[in-house]
A and B are shown apart, each in its own frame.
Chain A
Amino acid sequence: MSNWPALERFLRTDPADVGCEQAMEVLHVYVDLVAADPDAAGRYPGVTAHLAACGPCCEDFRGLLAAVTAERR
């Protein structure tokens, strides 16, 4: 049988994943940290795990980061 890494990635769940509600609750704090220092994402491992697995929340993260970055240009 062939490898199917995308299926494996999709099915693998991360126990650290905090879910949408908690991730969105601190998204503004997370984005300000990441905008200042991309390595700072490590301070919120549960949020980072969630954004890696949840497309819609990751989209919100990218949108908020884009808005903040545009403002500071």
Chain B
Amino acid sequence: MSPALNTDFLRSRLKLKSQQSELLLKTRHPSAVAFLESAGVRPGSIRKHAAKLLAAGSAAGTILLSPSPNFSLRTALPPASQSVSISPFDLHNNLISQLKSQLPLQVSPLDENQENHISQTLHANYGIHASAVLEGNRLNRSYGLIGAEQHLPRYPGDSISQHDQFQKSGITPGRGAWGYFAPSKLALTPDLIEKEKYYVAVQTLYLPDWSTRLPYLRDWYKHRKVVVVNPKNGKAIVAVIADSGPAAWTGKHFGGSPEVMGYLEAKDGKQRGPVVLFFVDDPQNQVPLGPLEYNLENPPQLMSS
């Protein structure tokens, strides 16, 4: 008798492999991935998209040929279409309606109860473990206004022409609060490219214990993974903390990289908008950076027909 499979171990190994391959694809071909995603398809979910096309074609044919006025569309569709997991569009709409009842009318600090409810909502929709407090650390705000930031130089000598997207956003003249991402262009890895692409700035300098616990907090916050959610359109994106700011006088609480802001569309006429920003609890580093468009614990499944 062959030994039993350790399902949890296998799932975790396969998920990691899948996420690494997705990251590599996004790093090497960002425009292609953005092109497909703008058409509502994640590359890894192409089979689900194919099943939808098949179902739509099949349903259209059946409707045209059906003599019965009591025709049930759902039962006529192939099983594939009945098991289609929730689309990004529906995920966004679910989040909009749930957050509407959990967030205050005005952008203001959240209480613990509100933060806990939002953590549960994010987990239920996206399968992500995110919270306002992680390992005893919390930011000054978990719900606030985000503004657009420029690109950060990733290594000495980096220029805007070296960044593949959002070049019009420009690049900051100085380094981010945590320095360069890599000591040289040669040392820049796909992982670090992703980190600059999906970064946020947070107001660490206003933390009450920032100066007294600087060595510990500086390391803890460096490239700390967060999820940023625009409650107005339900879009969520995973990013890392890579800069400090903005200054309190701006009235903003967070800053977002050009890619983060481009995806969240979190800008009003004053170039700012409300977002929820929570830490992601991801000790195994399994949550990929970038737009969240499916439930991480219930990834799109292979369709059967």
The finding on whether chains A and B are genuine partners in a shared complex, rather than unrelated, reads no
Residue positions of B touching A, CB distance < 8 A: none
